[in-house]
C-alpha cells in the first residue's frame, strides 16, 4: 500500500503550481509547451484527479472546488495557506477512498532520488547519509553530551 502522506507531499506542490500559474483554466488546459515541468506535472495530476470518476459531476468534485479556490486565492498568504490545506484535504479524501487512483498518480510522479551512499572505513569511523543535528561521538567513554 502506498503512503498517502508522502504521495500528498509530492502532488500538492505540483497541483498548486499549475493552479496558481493558470488559474481556473488549468481545469481544461491539457498541454502548454511554455509551462515548466512542475506545472505540466500538476496539470497531468489535476487532469487525472478530476477525471478519475466519470459518474461524479465535475462541479460537485471537492478536488475541483479546492483547485478553483486556490487558483482564485490571490496573493494573501493566509488565504493561500487555507486553500492549500483545503486542496490537501480534498486530495487525501480522494486518495484514501480510491486506492487505485493513488497508484495511478504515483506512476505519473518522477522516481524519488536514490538514497545517498555512504561509507566509513577504519576504527571509530562515522558515516552520515543524511542530516544530523546531534552529536556524533566515537571513542572511549563517549557519553554523547559535550563537556565544557
For the cut 60, the answer to whether the pLDDT of residue 54 exceeds it is no
pLDDT given at position 104: 85
Q: In this structure, what C-alpha cell is assigned to residue 34? A: 511554455
pLDDT in tens, 91-143: 888 888 887 888 888 888 888 777 778 888 888 788 888 778 888 877 666 66
**0.85 exceeded by the pTM?**
no
Q: Rounded mean pLDDT of the chain?
A: 78
Quote the cell numbers at residue 118. 555512504
pLDDT the model gives residue 3 = 81
User: Is the pLDDT score of 86 beyond 90?
Assistant: yes
pLDDT of residue 53: 60
Q: How many Cα atoms sit within 13 Å of 82 on the Cβ side?
A: 10
**Spatial separation of the C-alpha atoms in residues 107 and 40, rounded to whole Å:** 15
Amino acid at each position: 500500500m502506498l503512503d498517502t502522506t508522502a504521495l500528498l507531499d509530492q502532488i500538492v506542490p505540483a497541483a498548486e503550481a499549475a493552479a496558481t500559474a493558470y488559474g481556473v483554466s488549468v481545469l481544461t488546459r491539457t498541454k502548454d509547451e511554455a509551462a515548466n515541468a512542475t506545472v505540466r506535472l500538476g496539470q497531468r495530476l489535476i487532469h487525472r484527479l478530476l477525471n478519475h470518476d466519470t459518474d461524479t459531476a465535475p462541479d460537485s468534485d471537492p478536488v475541483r472546488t479546492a483547485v478553483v479556490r486556490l487558483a482564485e486565492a490571490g496573493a494573501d498568504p493566509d488565504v493561500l495557506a487555507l486553500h492549500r490545506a483545503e486542496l490537501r484535504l480534498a486530495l487525501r479524501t480522494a486518495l484514501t477512498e480510491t486506492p487505485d487512483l493513488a497508484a495511478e498518480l504515483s506512476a505519473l510522479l518522477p522516481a524519488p532520488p536514490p538514497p545517498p551512499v555512504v561509507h566509513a572505513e577504519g576504527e571509530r569511523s562515522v558515516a552520515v547519509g543524511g542530516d544530523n543535528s546531534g552529536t556524533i561521538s566515537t571513542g572511549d567513554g563517549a557519553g554523547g553530551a559535550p563537556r565544557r
